[in-house]
Chains A and B, each alone.
Chain A
Amino acid sequence: MRVLLVEDDEDLSGRIAAVLRSENFVVDIARNGEDARHAGLTELFDVAILDLGLPKIDGVSVLKEWRDGSRNLPVLVLTARDGWPDKVASFKAGADDFLAKPFKVEELVLRLRALVRRAAGHAAARLTCGALVFDAQLGTFELDGLPLKLTALEWRVLSCLMLRKEMVVDRRELTERVYDGDAEVDSNSIEVIIARLRKKLGGDRIETVRGRGYMLTSAS
């Protein structure tokens, strides 16, 4: 899961990013409204965390520009302005959730996961695909009722496939959602991760669709 974190306070954004990375998120940070607008309009993110008081362009304007550019990624507004007028303005501009500073980091993570899950069209918190169960709220996988141990990269790939189970996920898109914007990506590495996942899941749960990408199926 790739998240765009828009926060001008360096200390806070660093801490949030560290927590999110430990929760297997891929985090890109934008420190002002202009960078945020550009990143949101040109790159793929599963979710964005948006501060309202930003240098250059304020958060609500950034959000409006994303929506005007038909970018419908879920957006969580994270701001110190916790009055209801600010909340109403944020949601009017197209926000999906709102969290006031200071906040509990667990709540931020839960809300981000819920946003990603709902954006993928899943109403329930637990997704099942055959014997594989994904608790989208806690971010844990179970296989045949037993917890599944995954590396960060494996978790990212599998959660991405799980949220769009029974659908083909483009390989390039998968790469974008799994690696940081500035990470050196070897075109084969996704294949390596897929191979490792197939070993852990067993059978042919992850199908390769030639020339397009991968698909998670419930067939065992």
Chain B
Amino acid sequence: MKAPALKPRSIAGRLLMFSGIFVTLALVVAAIVLWLALKTVVREQVDQRLDTQIGALAGAVTRDAQGRITLSAPLDAPPFDRPSSGWYWQIDDGQQRLTSRSLMNGTIDAPPPRQDLRHVLMGMPTSGTGGDRGRRPLYLRQAIRSIDGMTLTITTTAPMIALVGPALRALFWLVPSMLLLGLVLMAGTLWQIRFGLRPLKSMAANIDAINRGERARLPDEATVELAPLALKTNALLAANEERLAATRMQFANLAHGLKTPVASLLLALDEKNDPQGALRSLAARIDNRIKHHLAAARRVMASTDNVASIDLAASVADLHRAISQIHAERKIAFDTDIAKGLRVACDESDVEEMLGNLIDNAFKWATSRVTVRARRDGPTARITIEDDGPGIPPDRLAAVVQPGVREDENVPGNGFGLSIVNELAGLYGGSLVLEANDAAGLRCVLCLPVTVPASSFAGKRPLN
């Protein structure tokens, strides 16, 4: 079983972990190979030195008049002259021995040389290990030569430290430099991952922007690997929007399908066939139920759709054209004071629904004048709609915006619209507050999120 805790969650983590493992393995193998190669070179150098000494000894050894082996020339050049240095030589014919000065009349404790015919014929020395009377480990080269009818075993030695020392010293710089190399490689990997994953990060930022309603789609992706992902994400967004539009259409059709027979029913009922008005109030309740559930459906659908940026001044102008005609008989003056270019991050139809209800309400109650103002207040657009009508008693101001409070009441132009506005505003993180107008009438304050240019968001918000 695999331990899940060891699996990194991020792609960067995975890449980093695997490249870390591979870099470490590669560096360890490289270090071992280098070290072995170095040891071989050192040994070959020592071999060469010892073999040269063997050659010189073989050339200089003779038998004197007494039949003893002797050297025709002194061959105790450094380092063979230093006592106990480990650099020794010894010539042995079975009965007598000739040794280097460094041995100081001692002998080399060496196993018999393992020389076969080939070595003897070629005069090739063989390697082995031994000691100088057990005190110090020695590396030795041995050769068997026949000179003047004698069979001589010539042994030269070097202290083991001469072999191991340079290799050990090499480790002192080999290991740190390998570590440094590893660090540089990992840093490179890290940088490469960051650079390589940058398109992914920018895609995440763009998706975030879509969520915030600053973008409708992902931009065309230049990164080949991400292009299909961007394409598919955009297709998904489009499909979602289509489905949403289709659902909205279905709800509109449902409304149409239900309301037309209700309208017929209300027309069919009159004083004669419904003297108490019970059936008519029942039909009115059906109508209210339809309105209520349509508003609920609308709310649900609005929550997924905030990819928009709506110009408030244009929206209010459109609404004014409609409302002034609906209330053409009332001759209400209409003033607007809307900050130029003020845009809100809400769906167009939702903005129309909210402002339409509020302005229509104001027209219904106004005596002579309706004023709409809008200005930016930090991240929100503050929209006020004022009328000079009778207003609402202070103790009921909070109640009339409550959702569902008056769904069964049949007071014309009261309640339903305000609760819809309140709920829609809430969905966008905004608010609706009713207050008494300074002079007379009602002031509705609607706060909605303003559209912020995407550039000013860069790096300010964490990606979630």
Contacts and interface: CB of A to CB of B under 8 A. Distances in A.
Chain B's interface: helix, strand, loop or mixed, by majority? helix
A79 B256 contact: yes
Contacts of B328: 97, 114, 118
A42 B258 CA distance: 33
Contact of B255 (A81, A88, A90, A125): A81
A85 B268 contact: no
Range class of the B interface residue count? 35 or more
Interface string A97-125: 11011111100000000100010000001
Contact of A80 (B260, B283, B353): B260
B419 to A, nearest CB: 15
Given A19-B267, A53-B256, A102-B259, A84 B325 contact: no
A31 to B, nearest CB: 13
A167 to B, nearest CB: 23
Contacts of A92: 318, 321
Contact of B256 (A80, A91, A104): A80
B253 interface: yes
Contacts of B202: none
A63 to B, nearest CB: 13
B390 to A, nearest CB: 22
Nearest to B327: A97
Interface stretch (A10-18, A154-162, A177-185, A193-201): A10-18
Contact of A102 (B287, B348, B353): B287
Contacts of A164: none
Contacts of B441: none
Interface string B348-360: 1100110111001
A62 interface: no
Interface in A49-90: 52-53, 79-88, 90
Contacts of B276: none
Contacts of A98: 322, 325-326
Contacts of A101: 259-260, 262-263
Contacts of A85: 348-349, 352-353
Contacts of A9: 260-261, 264
Nearest to A115: B328
Interface string A13-43: 0011001000000000000000000000000
A12 B356 contact: no
Given A53-B256, A80-B255, A12 B264 contact: yes
B263 A90 contact: no
Nearest to B260: A9
B329 interface: yes
A11 B252 contact: no
A57 to B, nearest CB: 16
B31 to A, nearest CB: 74
Contact of A11 (B261, B287, B318): B261
A84 B356 contact: yes
A97 B325 contact: yes
A96 interface: yes
Nearest to B357: A84
A166 B48 CA distance: 138
Given A80-B260, A101-B262, A88 B287 contact: no
A9 B259 CA distance: 11
Contacts of A53: 252-253, 256
B266 interface: yes
A91 B321 contact: yes
B66 to A, nearest CB: 131
A9 B258 CA distance: 11
B319 A84 contact: yes
Contact of A84 (B252, B256, B268, B352): B352
B322 A90 contact: yes
Interface in B315-353: 318-319, 321-322, 325-326, 328-329, 348-349, 352-353
A95 interface: yes
A186 B76 CA distance: 156
Contacts of B267: 12, 15-16, 19, 105
Q: Which of A90, A100, A101 has most B Cβ within 10 Å?
A: A101
A102 B113 CA distance: 120
Given A81-B255, A83-B353, A88-B319, 13 more contacts: A11-B264, A12-B261, A80-B256, A82-B255, A82-B291, A84-B357, A84-B360, A85-B348, A91-B325, A92-B321, A98-B326, A100-B259, A114-B329
Q: Which 6 A-B pairs have the closest CB atoms?
A: A84-B356, A80-B259, A102-B263, A91-B322, A85-B349, A101-B263
18 contacts: A15-B267, A53-B252, A53-B253, A80-B260, A81-B255, A81-B256, A82-B291, A83-B252, A83-B353, A85-B348, A85-B352, A88-B318, A88-B322, A91-B322, A96-B325, A98-B326, A101-B263, A105-B267
